[in-house]
A and B are shown apart, each in its own frame.
Chain A
Amino acid sequence: MPRSVRAVAYLKRIPSDIRKLWREPLLLFGITLVSVFLFLFIVLPLFKIFQLSFEENGHYSLKVFAELLSKSYNVQPLIHSLTLGAAVSILGTVIGFIFAYAVTRVDIPWKRFFNVTATFPIIAPPFMMSLSAILLFGKQGFVSNMILNDIIHFKIYGFYGLLVVETLTYFSTAYLTLYGVLQAIDPALEDAALDLGAPKWKVFTRITLPLATPGIASAILLVFSQSLADFGNPMILAGNYTILATQAYLTIVGMYDMRSGAGLAILLLIPSLIAFGLQKYWVSRKSYVTVTGKPSSTRIKMDHPVTKYSIFGLCLLLTGVIFLFYGMVLFGSFVKLWGANHALTFVNYKHVFTVGWGFIRDTLLLSSIATPIAGILAMIIAFLVVRKNFPGKRLMELVSLLTFAVPGTVVGIGYILAFNEYPLKLTGTAAIIVLLFIFRDLAVGVQTGIAELQQIDPSIEEAATDLGADSATTFRRITLPLITPAFYAGLAFTFVKCMTAVSAVIFVVSGKWNLITIAILGSVENSDLSQAAAFSVVIIVFILLALWLIQFLVKQMQGEQRIRFERAEAL
């Protein structure tokens, strides 16, 4: 169908869609409410930034950008951000691919261990790597000072430091993406190539690699966006290598120049949106990976000793580095005064739980409020988008996925612009932090929800409707139980993100409501490295506890479900 015909067909459908909605007031109410929320807490803040940076005495103008780009100290961050993003995305994707290929295709031991190590950076606060870099290679660093006795001077502040820490932090994203892609390639394809006489390395270059190429492109774009949006690492390690996310923050907080800050935010937003658009609308369409019939049996593994042991060695080396970095933070958290007194002590933890208790309490409280709300909201949006027809549905999906593409710094600036005056004066309250938590990472929950729902045969829900249930009841009694795994995955992700958030919330925290991550940045700035380390360890412990709890609940429920199934079968 040509586009215009489709558009007309769509427009023709609208009146009947609206009529149907009138008959289901609860559904209508739900759609309206969600739309209002999405508008207020995602669209409005972005709009405010655009408004501030493009408006000049009531007219639209590009003056602020002309001004910004005429100053080299503003042009540089743009170039730096893009350069760093490109380097991190390529290096991160290469490492992610090595791990993903090793785990899915090579006959090596310790796969589970590699898998856990490669995903760990996702749950750790991102800037922990920078903290560790200082502990290892800084002036008083464990390696630079204590082992090498200052023979080599490591330039950790600047491009290379950031490249290393961001790569170690964000290669996990590439790993997960590529793991999924490599796993989804039907083993029969590789079997067939082998069967037709191709040697194993040809199977790799002719079949596996071409089929994984869209996934690789996807991984590069995702890591690129993450590097662009990274705030914590550059705050600690950038030095003179200024980048956009932190420059925008410093412009606003340090120089009180809201307009330039907003302008920088726009400069940051544009490449992020381009990467997002490419990833979502171009790369994903190129994908060959489709879910076919039955999952084929075993996959032929690479077992040539040279390949096998070199890949195994690489994985060992990389996990070793990751362990070194995180381990150093753990070690640092027990050291009395980093660089001066390396006696082991609990005093940092004492500090964390006394002086820092407020931070911990606020973080846990606000995260715990935001997490379930975000989870349910995400599932409702996914349900509406996948299963219901109403005008503006695609827009709702796009807006909720947009949060994924917008760097935290941009969102944070948007929030202070949008919510600092009546009637939506929220600055300084707990509410603004909770709202930011909820809407900041909505996209992932919505995306998993959509993916999960698309797997569920709509006729199951139609059966419920057929038996007399309305939309709300169907959602509550049928849909929600079926998408429980996605729901809990969304919860886990949101909680982790809340606990480790920096970039956006740094704009909206206040003396009254504060967060651990902000406290860590403060400690690093004050060179209280051991305290910062202890705070980091505490965050990770809380995250692991929460993940364990969520997993426990899921298992409990699945167990119950299994028992129910077994009972049903017995009957």
Chain B
Amino acid sequence: MLNAIVHFSVQKRYWVLTLVLALVCTGYWSYQRLNIDAVPDITNVQVQINTEAPGFSPLEAEQRITFIVETALYGLPQLDYTRSLSRYGLSQVTVVFEEGTDIYHARNLIDERLASIKTQLPPGLDPVMGPLATGLGEIFTYTLSADPQAVQENGQPYDAMALRELQDWVIKPQLAQVPGVVEINTIGGYDKQYQVQPDPLLLLQHGVTLAQLLASLESNNANTGAGYIEKYGQQFLVRAEGQLKTIEDIENIIILNQDNSPVRVKDVAQVIIGKELRTGAATQNGLETVMGTAMMLVGENSRSIAQQLAAKLTVAQDSLPKGVKAESVYDRTTLVDKTIKTVQTNLLEGALLVVVVLFVLLGNIRAALITAAVIPLSMMATISGMVQAGVSANLMSLGALDFGLIVDGTVIIVENCVRRLSLAQRDSGTTPQLKQRLALVYEATIEVVRPSLFGVAIITLVYLPIFSLSGVEGKMFHPMAATVVMALLAAMVISITLVPAAVAVFLKGKISEKENVLIKGANRIYVPLLEQALKGRAVVLALAGVLVTTCIWLMTTLGSEFVPQLDEGDIALHALRIPGTGLEQSIKMQITLENRLMEFPEVNRVFSKIGTPEVATDPMPPNVADTFIMLNPRDEWPAPNRSKEDLISSIEKALQELPGNNYEFTQPIEMRFNELISGVRADVGIKIFGDDLTVLRNTAQRVSAIVAETQGAADVRVEQVDGLPMLTIIPKRDLLARYGLNVQQLQDMVATAVGGSQAGLIYEGDRRFKLTVRLSDEIRNHLPRLLALPIPIRQGGYVPLSEIAKIQKAPAPAQISRENGKRRIVVTANVRDRDLGSFVTELKKKIPLQAEIPSGYWLDYGGTFEQLESASQRLTWVVPLTLVGILAILVIAFGSLKDSLIIFTGVPLALTGGVLALWFRDMPLSISAGVGFIALSGIAVLNGLVMLTFIRELRVSGETLWNAVVNGAQTRLRPVLMTALVASLGFIPMALNTGTGAEVQRPLATVVIGGIISSTLLTLVVLPVLYHWLHNVKHSEP
């Protein structure tokens, strides 16, 4: 089969070469369709269901919305779990599906369920599914700002409300049309409202109730179509107009007649354009602003959509009034471009170095070019494969691409061809005929193709454990493993088809294989060295053993990091204030914070979202602000070489001085992922489920006491549920009865007075604004005045609110979290100096006995220990299986277990160099480094394979053991050195890179460079020694 392929490639070489064109075309076509993003998407399959419930407290939102929505979702197919959040004015249920669920199908099912519960929800509330986007969805953010000199038509300067109107009605409609944009989410400013602010005294005076006021507004604000009439053959449409247009219209509505004189709205109330009770705000560089965030549809190409959005925003700018500016403040294109640039640079520099190395060692520019051409070609094939497999290109997947490995197979084949061709030329003294040349190329390829194929198969196999990772880790590393495997397979296929064809076509004429100085020198040193080693093998083997042992010990001392931090270039931070902090207070504190940040010369712009945006994709309370810090380009910094860590720590230091804020530093995309995934991030989480919040809290406290006593427990905390100060108005029912009122009348009064009631819409062309009735802020915010609010009674007259209701100030739950349809509270703990498994077992035994869990309440254990458990379970069989698989391949290759084991020893020997290199550069052990180790083992096995194959062949042809070992090793010196140099030199740009994405590549490159040095030395010395020793023993025994 293999032989047939190579034979075909050599014979139909031109035909095969035209395939290059096809490959390039496919690659280019695929590149246009490739999803390029900065980081892998680690969002799970989830749907958010948001129900906005203006004025609802957390308790009411939970009872009347969340519960009903959750119940409706029971039994959805492929449902993993639900969790929910009930906050002031918002119920959010997040439905998480199993991996691989079709999101469109899932949303359809949810839609169906939601439709069936519409009647059970309080009137006017509508559960809506969140935008169809993932954690990578927020690709473009812009802000609106106005020149302080610019004035509106009415002569006022542009305030946050005017800017919001422009955003809602001018910019948003234009941007929302960009294909691939699923939502433009607005935060900041105020929704413009026409507000009727009644004066309680005037209401009393004219005997008007709030209900009457509301009713009169509602019934005087509609246009009605009244069909048509025909007159003299012409048709006239009839329309009864009645819509309110201006403030005067509203003011002149007649509420009732008092003593034959009409009472108009203006007699009892003030009509103004007012501010909504907002739940979120936005600030930029210390000023309030209005911010829009474009969300990308799941699976779209972020780069092209962000570009289109930027272009559209420029167009939209022209339609804005003079002095108002819409600016893009976050554009994913920047990051993606940087990522692409990093990958491009590495590929280009790497390819150049490969060409140089090959030229120097082979002394043949054509051969070097053929080998180097494999890099772009296999890239093309990989890209096509990625598009087909739906793998996105990002820092992780492209960053770990390792072209040293890609060209290895080719290097071996080309080297052998060149060697054989030049040998043939030297032997015959003439350039070989075409037929002879083709036969030579075929033979030379076949000679080494098997080991190189086995090598690739082994490397692919080593990636298996990575595929067995699940959850976030899996999402992060699967694309990387898939990409590398695809690249390797592509390179392998190319190396046995295109490469022999190209060699056959281009390597004609005189093959100028110069045994150059380098190789000659190396040979001069190598042969005596090998002979010495063979003689003193005990010393060599002992040294190797010591080295390996030392490195194992060294490895345990290395720090470790699992998920690498991908540097997004910008900084994001959560500014956290104590629960219960009001929005306006939060804005004030945020502005102080932003002004402080702007004093850093490195900072270009700061913008923040406080609280919840219009579409509650991230329902933050008003005490939390997402702050984004955009940095200047490095060359504008006072010290362009300042590290980002250093900058962050000095920013943190400066901000810590500001009173009242707590901070969590992160990055924009990372922040979004955390918001979406949000699970228990501690080692152990004990979830307590039940009904009563107080009982839950008390139980949680008992549980946390038990956990804290347990040996090994650290950072034990109970989830904070309290903390929102609440003013509860409790009706005095007997007094209500005395005045002939009922509870609902009282509640309606309070709701209208404090929160406001909507009485319709005012249309200005397309723009529509709410018409609301609410007391003025002077009364609303002043408790004694609010308590004195007169409530009209049936007998005529009134009674003050304080007479019929009690006011209670008490902390209440700021939010109610539920999971799988039940209230829950979480106790979290980390474990130090003890293994997680026994800790959890002890807790599972102790807690049910000692914590007095009330009946109707139950426990569940979660946390990262779950992931650890499942990961370790999987790895305990995947890893041995992988090893057995590798060995099996080697045994198939050699038909000898002993030889296979000899090759296997090359792996730990190679790894020693990687460990040492990490240790020298003070780098932690990470998955990236792990990928480096994988690559190394592949190279080591490959080299060992090739070398052993030669030695065996020499022995079969009748050489003595000693001669076979020495000659075989010497023949393989050049290809081993070549692969080593190609890989290590090719990785130098990566190892030294500081650009975006470098943090993934640096450890990988470091490991490979270090490992290759040790691997080369050891393959060249220890392997022959081992082989000689083991086979010698065998021969001397009988």
Binding partners A and B: no
Question: B residues bordering A, Cβ < 8 Å?
Answer: none
Question: A residues bordering B, Cβ < 8 Å?
Answer: none
